[in-house]
Amino acid sequence: MGNIRIIEIGSRMGGDAIGSDLVYYSTGIDFVRCVIDVACGRAPDLTPKHEGCRAEVRFIMTMADLEEFNRIKRETPESILRIVDEVHPEAIGKATDSSNRGGCYIISV
């Protein structure tokens, strides 16, 4: 065997709208506030602010993803679609990962 080496240690919330938005819609818990509380040495308040619901984050990477996003915008009530990131048409079809995607949004039901 070899030696074990620590490469990275970082305490942070998840990216891609997961920690900032998805946790709140799906659980009702203000995760951002909890992260701030923990960073300040306080116990986090895990009391839900609303009843959790099914929620999913979707990424716009391809033209098909953009077409689905536009269909959802046309056909669903505003209360279901939670736009998280503005659409960047120039990135569609060229995105290689979440850092250069065409956008993302959350649906909550």
Q: Read off the pLDDT of residues 45-85 as tens digits, 9 standing for 90 and up.
A: 999 999 999 999 999 999 999 999 999 999 988 788 888 78
Query: Would you give the distance in Å from CA 59 to the centre of its chain?
Result: 9
Which pLDDT tens digit goes with each residue over 6-49? 776 767 777 888 888 999 999 999 999 999 999 999 999 999 99
Among residues 103, 63, 61, the alpha carbon closest in space to that of 84 is found at 103
Q: Which residues contact 92 (CB under 8 A, 6 or more apart)?
A: 60, 61, 62, 63, 65, 66, 102
CB-count burial class (<10 Å; 0-12, 13-18, 19+) for 77: exposed
